[in-house]
Amino acid sequence: MRRSWQGGRGPCRERKRSRVITFDDVTKRYPDGTVAVDHLSLEAPTGEITVFVGPSGCGKTTSLRMINRMIDASEGKILLDGEPVQGIDPPTLRRGIGYVIQQAGLFPHRKIVDNIATVPYLLGWDKKKARTRAMELLERVGLDPVMGERYPFQLSGGQQQRVGVARALAADPPVLLMDEPFSAVDPIVRTSLQDELLRLQSELNKTIVFVTHDIDEAIKLGDRVAVLRVGGKLAQLAAPKTLLSEPADDFVREFLGHDRGIRRLQFISTEGLRLRTDLTVPEGFSGPTDEPWLLVVTPDDRPVGWISRERPDEVEQYGTFVLGRDSMRSALDAALLSPSGCAVAVDEAGKVVGAATREALDEALAEAADG
Amino acid sequence: MNWLLEFFGKAENWSGSGGIPMRLLEHLEFSVMALALAVVIAIPLGLLIGHTGKGGLGVVVTANLARALPTLGLLVLFVLLLGTASILPVIIPLVLLAIPPILVNTFEGIRGVDPELRDAAYGMGLRGGQVLGRVLVPVALPLILLGLRLSAIQVVATTTIAAYTGLGGLGRFVIDGFSTQDYASVVGGSVLIVLFALVVQVLFTVVRWVTVSPGVSQRVKTR
Amino acid sequence: MASGALVATLLSPVSDGPPTLWEWLGRNWDTGRVDSIKNLLVDHLIMSLVPIFAALVVALPLGLASVRWRWLYQPTAGVFNVIYALPSLPVFMLLIQFSGLSKTTVIVPLTFYGCAVLIPSVVDGLGSVPDHVRQSAVAMGFTPLRRLLQVELPIAVPVVLAGMRVVAVSSISLVSVGALIGQGGLGMLFTRAYQNPFVPPALVGIVLIVLLALVADGLLVLAQRLLTPWVRARRAT
């Protein structure tokens, strides 16, 4: 993890860190009578990621864009820490809210560093300070500082999207709006961008509203997920875990998909999992044993592989999970990867702490289903 | 070739009101005046229409009609109607013909900017004028400059033809020479005008090179 | 444009008790002389239509070659860009030495101007063929020639025809400059108006040239509809 936390606070240290966003019975009706958002009431709490998810036409983007007044609500109020946004001059409002969109929307005629410094420039920071801040953010979103002097067309889609996030963070706004920011990049890049966002959020604790049509992304990123249905009605607002275990109705159930049971596993902790510590043997072990499978480890407790009673010379593959940190989903995955059917539990440093057998995993699952 | 030597070698062609330097200056003066007037009218109008998105269809239709207007006919018509007391009858058609390329390209340039970019600009808190000045114009600059260049080409050519109605400029060598069968003058004048047009062309290439961001023209190479 | 009141005001400074525009047009339409308006119109058509089609014939292979060999495009486009910047009158004058006071002297430069517009159109048009379409044509076993004729060119038609519209309109209006070397088609009406001096010929000339341009433009729009029925079908949905 990057150690830029200390220096990254920048000049806005004394400003209030985060704000709560409240939708109070908000409706958006277009002149032709279409209702995009229908009596929406919800709260996006301070320092959390609230995800709006739903099929196209559910008004999720419209809802997001009403927060920074890119679209104005027809009825109802949107409050920022209790203050109605409708009463704030839009440009002033927007300069205090970070905004990230699908294609990043970088200005092609400006170098990356100046793109990131856009809002600081608007706020009248001096050029040097703004650029220093921009370079700092560039590193923080995981880009090489030499990128700062490039133009947007010289960057890949994923890199541009990182710059988009950095640009939104430049003036250290307490609120971040993200409109399908990762949907235009390939799955591998998307995963790394999502991980990066979670890492950043663990440092920054912004109030984030995130729009996506991808339920997996919603579950991965959201502290709370608002599922919207076509016509702009809120179907359910809940933590991802609750959403998966107790979908409010058929629409939510169908939207979550058929494998929501499997997905639930990622919210079940591996902490307290019963482990066997008597299965590990040193390299070169050839003694008699009653166990069908034994785990070979190095002298400093790194896993080498499984050997079977029948063929002790062949080392078979294994799968690991970090005990306590990884979910049951990772543990099961690790178990399925090895012919022994056991998952290797390691600590944060990668040292073997034990093996979870099928029976142990079964027990944990049964417990989770009851609770 | 002999005609060229004769034309450029003649001492009287280098001095006085009918000499090359004077005619060149006149040509430059009329061209710059017409182009400047056209710019003052067409650029703000094009920016306004492109930015607000209102009246675009009218602009395109008018511009296409304008392209069909024969320059010589327009010149003759205005001179006949307004007389030759001032240069106005010549400047008016010059300006009229110079406006459409600038107007259309400015409008198309601004309107053609990626809507995502506009969205991002407003979303970060730029005001309307800032969006136009700091984002839309720099991104649309290649097209705006193209319009200016096409207009300049048009103006230089039409100024040449305007010599027919008694206006000065390099066209006089060509048209006077043609009527008096002085081919040295015709060829020499033609070469001068061609060179003049080429200089204008080069000038615009340089301006483009200097003013358009490398990020827009994608001129820089990575690494 | 030709409403009675407007014409009357336009005519008044020059002629008293003027013939209306249409009377003048009728009287001079077919006098049997070389410079009757009818004959001028025919000349005008020849001198503008030949360059339009000649430009297409030249631009198509050059455009195709520029797509096939990308390095060719920049220099080709550069050369025609420079040619396009040359004012027509001096070019006519310089050409007189080779082709005399003939229609050719007008037709040749107009053809070059047309190419300057059409070559980029052809290149952009072929560039507008989506790569997956090209690839699937290759995968289905089209030979390069058949792929060009049956897949790529039809898709390029709208862009090429848009270029043709520009070429047609500007050629029709540019021919009139030829009047200054005695080969201007309807442009001859302008020199006649200036020398006499008499407004109606100038007005008639402008109106006829603009009408001609509009008709040509309309025909090209029609051609595009007939050649690319799918474009309209897509718009309708």
The b-or-e profile of A14-37 (16+ CB within 10 A means b, else e) is eeeebbbbbbbebbbeeeeeeebb
Residue-wise pLDDT for A66-113, tens only, equals 999 999 999 999 999 889 999 999 999 999 999 999 888 899 999 999
Question: Domains in chain B: how many in total?
Answer: 1
Within-domain flag for A308:
yes
Mean pLDDT of C221-228: 88
pLDDT at B185 over 80: yes
Last residue of a domain, one of A215, A237, A267: A267
Within-domain flag for A198:
yes
Report the mean per-residue pLDDT for chain C.
86
Q: How many CB pairs under 8 A join B and C?
A: 133
- Cβ–Cβ under 8 Å, residues A340 and A350: no
Domains, chain C, with CATH or none: 22-225 (1.10.3720.10)
CATH number at residue B173: 1.10.3720.10
| C90 → closest Cβ in B80, B174, B201 | B174
**Which residues in chain B are closer than 8 Å to C93, comparing Cβ atoms?**
174, 178, 186-187, 189-190
Rounded Cα–Cα distance for residues B98 and B193 (Å): 18
| B76 → closest Cβ in C96, C170, C193 | C193
Within-domain flag for B219:
no
Give the percent of chain B with pLDDT over 70: 98
Q: Do B71 and C194 touch (CB under 8 A)?
A: no
Here the tokens at position B152 are: 């300049």
**Which residues in chain C are closer than 8 Å to B200, comparing Cβ atoms?**
85
Q: Are residues A81 and A177 in the same domain?
A: yes
Q: How many whole angstroms from its chain centre is CA A333?
A: 21
| DSSP run (H or E) holding B178 | helix B171-179
Q: Do C213 and B68 touch (CB under 8 A)?
A: yes
Give the percent of chain C with pLDDT over 70: 89
Query: Which of A230-234, B1-5, C211-215 shows the lowest mean pLDDT across its residues?
Result: B1-5
Q: Are residues A70 and A213 in the same domain?
A: yes
**Which residues in chain B are closer than 8 Å to C187, comparing Cβ atoms?**
70, 72-73
- Cβ–Cβ under 8 Å, residues B175 and B223: no
Q: Are residues A81 and A197 in the same domain?
A: yes
**Which residues in chain B are closer than 8 Å to C191, comparing Cβ atoms?**
72, 76, 164
Is the CB of residue B142 less than 8 Å away from at least one CB of chain A?
Answer: no
- C83: closest chain B residue by CA: B198
Q: Are residues A248 and A319 in the same domain?
A: no
Q: Are residues A344 and A259 in the same domain?
A: no
Q: Are residues A312 and A256 in the same domain?
A: no
Here the tokens at position C220 are: 């090209």
**Which residues in chain B are closer than 8 Å to A92, comparing Cβ atoms?**
125
Q: Do B174 and C179 touch (CB under 8 A)?
A: no
Within-domain flag for A33:
yes
Q: Do A95 and B124 touch (CB under 8 A)?
A: yes
Helix A358-370, helix A328-337: angle, nearest 10: 150
Last residue of a domain, one of A267, A300, A334: A267
CATH number at residue A362: 3.10.580.10
Q: Which domain holds residue A240?
A: 5-96+173-267
Q: How far is CA A31 from CA A230, B52, B54, B55, B168, in A?
A: 18, 19, 19, 22, 59
Name all chains with 3 or more CB-CB pairs below 8 Å to chain A: B
Within-domain flag for A131:
no
Position A17 scores a pLDDT of: 53
CATH number at residue A75: 3.40.50.300
Q: Are residues A295 and A223 in the same domain?
A: no
Position C234 scores a pLDDT of: 66
**Testing the interface with B: which of C14, C171, C180 to mutate, by most B Cβ within 10 A?**
C180
pLDDT at A371 over 60: no
Q: Do B125 and A102 touch (CB under 8 A)?
A: no
SS3 C203: helix
Report the mean per-residue pLDDT for chain B.
89
Q: Do B178 and C209 touch (CB under 8 A)?
A: no
- B66: closest chain C residue by CA: C210
Mean pLDDT of C28-54: 88
Is the CB of residue B126 less than 8 Å away from at least one CB of chain A?
Answer: yes
Confidence (pTM): 0.80
Within-domain flag for A141:
no
Here the tokens at position A131 are: 């650029």
Residue-wise pLDDT for B100-129, tens only, equals 999 999 999 999 999 999 999 999 999 999
Q: Are residues A201 and A71 in the same domain?
A: yes
Mean pLDDT of B20-45: 94
Within-domain flag for B221:
no
Nearest of B43, B47, B197 to residue B111 by alpha carbon: B47
Q: Are residues A14 and A73 in the same domain?
A: yes
Residue-wise pLDDT for B125-184, tens only, equals 999 999 999 999 999 999 999 999 999 998 999 999 988 888 888 999 999 999 898 888
- B201: closest chain C residue by CA: C85
Is the CB of residue B115 less than 8 Å away from at least one CB of chain A?
Answer: no
Position C172 scores a pLDDT of: 95
Q: Are residues A245 and A304 in the same domain?
A: no
Is the CB of residue B214 less than 8 Å away from at least one CB of chain A?
Answer: yes
Rounded Cα–Cα distance for residues A354 and A359 (Å): 14
Task: Using the Cα atoms of residue C84, residue C89, residue C92 and residue C96 in order, give the sign of their dihedral.
Answer: negative
Last residue of a domain, one of A267, A300, A327: A267
Within-domain flag for B146:
yes
Q: Are residues A295 and A329 in the same domain?
A: yes
∠C147-C151-C153 over CA atoms, to 5°? 100
Within-domain flag for A63:
yes
Within-domain flag for B218:
no
Rounded Cα–Cα distance for residues C81 and B205 (Å): 11
Question: Domains in chain A: how many in total?
Answer: 2
Position C5 scores a pLDDT of: 52
Q: Do B213 and A109 touch (CB under 8 A)?
A: yes
Q: Do B124 and A94 touch (CB under 8 A)?
A: yes
Q: Which domain holds residue B189?
A: 2-213
- C95: closest chain B residue by CA: B187
**Which residues in chain B are closer than 8 Å to C87, comparing Cβ atoms?**
153, 156-157, 160-161, 193-194, 197
- What is the ipTM for the molecules in this complex? 0.86
**Which residues in chain B are closer than 8 Å to C110, comparing Cβ atoms?**
none
Question: If 0-12 CB within 10 Å is exposed, 13-18 middle and 19+ buried, where does residue C237 land?
Answer: exposed
**Which residues in chain B are closer than 8 Å to C197, comparing Cβ atoms?**
80
Give the percent of chain A with pLDDT over 90: 52
Within-domain flag for B222:
no
Position A151 scores a pLDDT of: 94
Report the mean per-residue pLDDT for chain A.
87
Here the tokens at position C151 are: 């897949």
Q: Are residues A197 and A228 in the same domain?
A: yes
Within-domain flag for A285:
yes
**Which residues in chain B are closer than 8 Å to A102, comparing Cβ atoms?**
116
Mean pLDDT of C93-112: 92
Name all chains with 3 or more CB-CB pairs below 8 Å to chain C: B
Q: Do B214 and A151 touch (CB under 8 A)?
A: yes
Helix B20-52, helix B88-111: angle, nearest 10: 40
Position A212 scores a pLDDT of: 93
Q: Do B139 and A70 touch (CB under 8 A)?
A: no
